[in-house]
């Protein structure tokens, strides 16, 4: 959605062979990152976005820290980096309560991040924040401080259960 913080990505084109090719193509279109500049690590468990309803498959890769993004101005307003530790700390975390008739009351992750280079504030929330929290917990092998009882050794099963529950509530 315009104005929202999100990872690069988008819909699969008919010419895309798989989710990884879609992610690489979209990332090149949006921020100028060429496929050969990414070392793909793999896929995370898919998520079902709430509005509109899409199946989102996060692709994880490593990019050299010397990469300089060239944002496509028709798709991207800002590009910024956030340390993984940010997403497991409660310092800038605020739970976001939302209510819908079909799903009832939900609590979403929400973070306020100030880019130290531009001094711009960004609200990172919803599916983007959820993906960032789960990836950070997996890679850092540490649960978020704002989720007591989070089992870092059981992230995959938790995500599979989250996908199943989301699917059961969705119209997919």
Residue 120 structure tokens: 């711009």
Q: What is the pTM of this model?
A: 0.90
CATH of the domain at 77: 3.90.79
In a domain, 54, yes or no: yes
- For residue 57, which of 40, 44, 73, 72 has the smallest C-alpha distance? 44
Residue 62: what are its φ and ψ, rounded to 5°? -110, 135
pLDDT (tens, 9 = 90+) of the chain, 172 residues, equals 667 999 999 999 999 999 999 999 999 999 999 999 999 999 999 998 876 788 999 999 999 999 999 999 999 999 999 999 999 999 999 999 988 776 678 889 999 999 999 999 999 999 999 999 999 999 999 999 999 999 999 999 988 988 898 888 777 7
In a domain, 12, yes or no: no
In a domain, 47, yes or no: yes
Residue 52 structure tokens: 């509109």
In a domain, 7, yes or no: no
In a domain, 25, yes or no: yes
Residue 145 structure tokens: 């401080």
In a domain, 96, yes or no: yes
In a domain, 13, yes or no: no
Per the structure, the count of domains in the chain is 1
What residues make up the domain containing 23?
Answer: 19-169
Helix 126-140, helix 155-169: angle, nearest 10? 160
In a domain, 2, yes or no: no
């Amino acid at each position: 959605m315009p104005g929202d913080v999100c990872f690069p990505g988008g819909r699969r084109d008919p010419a895309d062979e798989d989710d990884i090719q879609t992610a690489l193509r979209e990332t090149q279109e949006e921020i100028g990152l060429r496929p050969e500049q990414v070392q793909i690590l793999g896929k995370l468990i898919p998520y079902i976005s709430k509005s509109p309803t899409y199946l989102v498959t996060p692709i994880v890769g490593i990019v050299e820290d010397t990469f300089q993004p060239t944002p496509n101005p028709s798709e991207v307003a800002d590009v910024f980096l956030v340390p993984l530790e940010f997403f497991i700390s409660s310092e800038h975390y605020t739970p976001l309560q939302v209510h819908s008739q079909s799903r009832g009351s939900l609590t979403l992750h929400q973070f306020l991040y100030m880019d130290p280079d531009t001094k711009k504030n960004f609200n990172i929330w919803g599916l983007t924040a959820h993906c960032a929290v789960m990836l950070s917990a997996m890679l850092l092998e540490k649960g978020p401080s704002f989720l007591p009882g989070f089992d870092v050794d059981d992230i995959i099963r938790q995500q599979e259960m989250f996908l199943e529950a989301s699917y059961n509530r969705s119209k997919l």
